[in-house]
């Protein structure tokens, strides 16, 4: 989100250029958001091209209705259901797939969604508000062990156990149902933090990742994307968190390396398992100018691979 309030798509030109758009190609935008990447892809496609976009946020689906283009189809699903989304749109193979993972600026800036401690609102945090458990509902039933694991693993928070104990003790007195309540509990527990960072930052991030199963969604989506890609098709992934980027990096690295087999097997060279992907360039980060114009772009990392 820019200072003026308009949504700013990160690495817009770089991501779409990396797809190497074909005039009559078929593409998927696995994370529609507010449609920045989708609109740019459509502007590069010819009249016989096609774009299928996917998003699980009902507000994103509503925003997508503004795109009146016969080449475009928007499917209401999580990107972990990429294969189902493709089937629903009537496609079985694509020339390129783009992921821009993580929470979007509109979700953060809409206080009522409960993603941010900067607004006092219901502690919801669901990207798809039509289904699933809210953050408040999970905190009301989770055990100390579970809360500790989530905050430690997804927030990399060293005070995770103390926060979990505080939450469980506090909910006996009063249900934790707002962002302000949860943030206050965390701030009371976390006494030291990096300069300029709110003590609640890591815990809010962890809770959001858990409620939406963001890392698991990415883990199951990448193999589906590989299966959907045609030979020569491009996979482009933008991530904003080290845990996300690690999943992407490890997947691309594993798929771009021939399977290692025990020595001495009676196999010819042409019988050895072949890599499925070829890495394209190095990991790319936003320019200094882009980060200055849109500070939320600062942690973005883009990786690109091509199916062999």
| Last residue within a domain, chosen from 211, 241, 257 | 211
Residue 134 is predicted with a pLDDT of 97
Determine phi and psi for 27, rounding to 5 degrees: -135, 160
Residue 260's pLDDT band, with cuts at 50, 70 and 90, is: low
First to last CA, the chain: 37
* Segment holding 278, helix H or strand E: strand 277-279
pLDDT for 102 equals 77
210 is in an annotated binding site: no
Domain total in the chain? 2
> Residue 196, Cβ neighbours under 10 Å: how many?
6
- Non-local (6+) Cβ contacts of 281 within 8 A are 304
SS (H, E, C) 85-126: HHHHCCCCCEEEEEEECCCCHHHHHCHHHCCCCCCCCECCCC
Q: What is the pLDDT of residue 191?
A: 79
Residues 305 and 21: beta-carbon distance below 8 Å: no
DSSP state of 5: S
Average pLDDT, integer, range 201-218: 96
4 in a structural domain: no
Residues 192 and 236 in one domain: no
What's the predicted TM-score (pTM) here? 0.92
pLDDT range class, residue 2, cuts 50, 70, 90? very low
CATH number for 303: 3.40.50.150
Residue span of the structural domain in which 197 resides: 129-211
119 is in an annotated binding site: no
Higher pLDDT: 260 or 188? It is 188
Looking at the fold, whether 100 and 159 belong to one and the same domain comes out as no
Domain co-membership, 100 together with 136:
no
Q: Residue 45: which pLDDT band, with cuts at 50, 70 and 90?
A: very high
37 labeled part of a ligand binding site: yes
**DSSP character at residue 178:** B
Instruction: Give the separation between CA 283 and CA 58, rounded to whole angstroms.
Output: 31
Residue 62 lies in a domain: yes
The reported pLDDT for the residue numbered 273 is 77
pLDDT at 76 over 80: yes
Q: Which residues does 210 contact at the CB level (< 8 Å), separation at least 6? A: 138, 150, 154
Quick one: pLDDT band at residue 103, thresholds 50, 70, 90? confident
Backbone angles phi, psi at 299, to 5 degrees: -95, 5
Least confident residue range of 1-5, 88-92, 175-179: 1-5
Q: What is the pLDDT of residue 262?
A: 67
Residue 122 resides in a domain: no
Q: Which of 166, 184, 211 is the last residue of a domain?
A: 211
Q: Alpha helices, DSSP H only, in the chain?
A: 12-18, 36-44, 58-64, 82-88, 105-109, 135-141, 144-155, 160-173, 179-189, 201-211, 214-228, 242-255, 288-293
Structure tokens at 230: 């045609």
What is the pLDDT at residue 271?
Answer: 66
Whether residue 58 is found in the same domain as residue 206: no
In this structure, of 59-68, 83-92, 208-217, 270-279, the range with the lowest mean pLDDT score is 270-279
Q: For residue 124, is it within any domain?
A: no
Whether pLDDT at 291 is above 60: yes
Which pair of structure tokens corresponds to residue 221? 């989506």
Average pLDDT rounded to a whole number, residues 157-175: 98
Question: Using an 8 Å Cβ cutoff, are 265 and 271 in contact?
Answer: no
Q: Is the pLDDT of residue 107 over 80?
A: no
DSSP for 30-66? S--TTSHHHHHHHHHS-TT-EEEEEE--HHHHHHHTT
Among 177, 211, 245, the domain boundary falls at 211
Are 150 and 294 part of one and the same domain? no
What mean pLDDT comes out for the span 46-75?
Answer: 97
96 is in an annotated binding site: no
* 112 occurs within a structural domain: no
The backbone torsions φ and ψ at residue 266, rounded to the nearest 5 degrees and listed phi first, read -80, 70
Question: Do 218 and 195 sit in the same domain of this protein?
Answer: no
Q: What is the mean pLDDT of residues 258-275?
A: 71
pLDDT confidence tier of residue 110, bands split at 50, 70 and 90? confident
Quick check: is 41 in a domain? yes
Mean pLDDT of the residues in the chain: 93
Check residue 105 and give its pLDDT: 74
Residue 246 is predicted with a pLDDT of: 97
Under the phi-then-psi rule, with left for phi > 0, alpha for psi from -120 to 50, and beta for the rest, what region is 232? left
Residues 219 and 101 occupy one common structural domain: yes
Same domain, 26 and 58: yes
Same domain? 201 vs 253: no
- The mean pLDDT value for 247-261 works out to 89
Closest CA to 99 of 217, 211, 207: 217
Q: How confident is the model at residue 119 (pLDDT cuts 50, 70, 90)?
A: confident
Residue 110, Ramachandran bin (φ over 0: left; ψ between -120 and 50: alpha; else beta): beta
Helices 214-228 & 242-255, crossing angle to 10 degrees? Answer: 30
Q: Are residues 28 and 96 in the same domain?
A: yes
- Grade residue 261 by pLDDT with cuts at 50, 70 and 90: low
Tell me if 243 is assigned to some domain.
Answer: yes
Domain with 134 in it: what CATH number? 1.10.150.170
Task: Give the model's pLDDT for residue 5.
Answer: 41
- The reply to whether 149 and 275 lie within a common domain is no
């Amino acid at each position: 989100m820019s200072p003026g309030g308009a949504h700013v798509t990160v690495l817009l030109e770089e991501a779409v250029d990396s797809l190497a758009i074909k005039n009559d190609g078929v593409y998927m935008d696995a994370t529609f958001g507010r449609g920045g990447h989708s609109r740019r892809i459509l502007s590069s496609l010819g009249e016989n091209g096609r774009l299928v976009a996917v998003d699980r946020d009902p507000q994103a689906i509503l925003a997508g209705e503004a795109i009146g283009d016969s080449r475009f189809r928007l499917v209401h699903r999580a990107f972990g259901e990429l294969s189902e989304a493709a089937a629903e749109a009537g496609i079985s193979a694509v020339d390129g797939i783009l992921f821009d993972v993580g929470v979007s600026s509109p979700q953060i800036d809409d206080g009522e969604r409960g993603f941010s401690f900067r607004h006092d609102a219901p502690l919801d945090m669901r990207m798809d508000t039509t289904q699933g458990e809210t953050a408040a509902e999970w905190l009301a039933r989770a055990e100390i062990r579970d809360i500790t694991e989530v905050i430690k693993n997804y927030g990399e928070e060293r005070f995770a156990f103390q926060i979990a104990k505080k939450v469980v003790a506090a909910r006996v007195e009063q249900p934790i149902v707002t962002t302000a309540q949860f943030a206050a509990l965390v701030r009371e527990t976390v006494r030291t933090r990096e300069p300029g960072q709110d003590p609640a930052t890591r815990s809010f991030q962890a809770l959001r990742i858990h409620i939406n199963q963001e890392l698991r969604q990415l883990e199951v989506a990448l193999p589906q994307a590989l299966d959907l890609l045609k030979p020569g098709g491009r996979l482009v992934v933008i991530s904003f968190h080290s845990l996300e980027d690690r999943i992407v990096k490890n997947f691309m690295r594993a798929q771009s390396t021939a399977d290692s087999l025990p020595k001495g097997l009676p196999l010819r060279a042409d019988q050895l398992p072949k890599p499925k992907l070829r890495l394209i360039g190095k990991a790319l980060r936003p320019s200094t100018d882009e980060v200055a114009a849109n500070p939320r772009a600062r942690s973005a990392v883009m990786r690109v691979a091509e199916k062999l």
